[in-house]
Amino acid sequence: MGLKRENLTMVAKLSVVALGMFAFGYALVPIYRAVCDALGINVLAIAERQVPGMNPRLPQNTQVDTTRTITVEFDTNVRGPWHFKPAQRSIQVHPGELATVMYEFQNIQNRSMAAQAIPSYAPRQSASHFNKLECFCFTQYTLEPGEKKEWPVAFVIDPRLPKDVTTITLSYTFFEVGGRIPNAPAAEPVASGQHAKEPGAV
């Protein structure tokens, strides 16, 4: 009888502990957000950042450097029978600000094709500070004859980008998979605050 009572007591204690752990885990997220708000920290997961189709009311990243403006130019190199171009040639962004640009592609051949893009940057030192969150260059695509596609490139420029860089050129070379992969266009040395035009650009 005494052993049974001890077992029941132990079960009750374990149940209380389990409920307490569940309650703590449930409350952890609002506690974390409250602490971040109190300390002025705004760390957003990639899934919470503002990308096309997501809730525009989400809080924006407070790490944006509004004292600087970077001109980002978009360039394409066409090496094959297809159309490939950015929807806009340039935009201006602040370091730390999420930006998105669309690229348009059409297979104008009378056969299917598998293709992928290679990015390059000018000036060269900007490459390590150009963080792409979404890019069609991550994947190979198969397109049917005449098929058109639109792909987004979502990116953030690291605020640690050198102060003398005020313009970045993002260039893509689109090639057909299965043939020889072309080298990415080499960026020429540029003066501070300027950019080099990629060879073969259209």
For the ranges 29-43, 55-69, 147-161, the lowest mean pLDDT is seen at 29-43
- pLDDT-based confidence at 31, cuts 50/70/90? low
Task: Please give the share of the chain, as a percent, with pLDDT higher than 90.
Answer: 35
Q: pTM for the complete prediction?
A: 0.56
Instruction: Determine contact, residues 145/110, Cβ cutoff 8 Å.
Output: yes
Instruction: Determine contact, residues 132/143, Cβ cutoff 8 Å.
Output: no
- What strand order describes the sheet that includes 82-86? 82-86, 98-107, 148-157, 130-134
Tell me the average pLDDT across 167-195. 62
Give the pLDDT confidence score for residue 101 in this predicted structure: 95
pLDDT in tens, 47-93: 334 444 444 444 445 489 999 999 999 998 876 778 889 999 999 99
Give the pLDDT confidence score for residue 26 in this predicted structure: 44
Instruction: Determine contact, residues 133/46, Cβ cutoff 8 Å.
Output: yes
Kindly indicate whether the domain formed by 70-176 is annotated with CATH number 2.60.370.10: yes
Q: What share of the chain is helix, strand, coil (3-state, %, to 5)?
A: 25, 35, 40
Instruction: Determine contact, residues 59/36, Cβ cutoff 8 Å.
Output: no
102: DSSP letter: E
> Radius of gyration of the chain from Cα atoms?
25
Torsion of CA 192, 157, 90, 103, to 10 degrees: 140
Whether the ω angle into residue 81 lies within 30 degrees of 0, i.e. cis, is: no
Domain boundaries, the chain: 2-41, 70-176
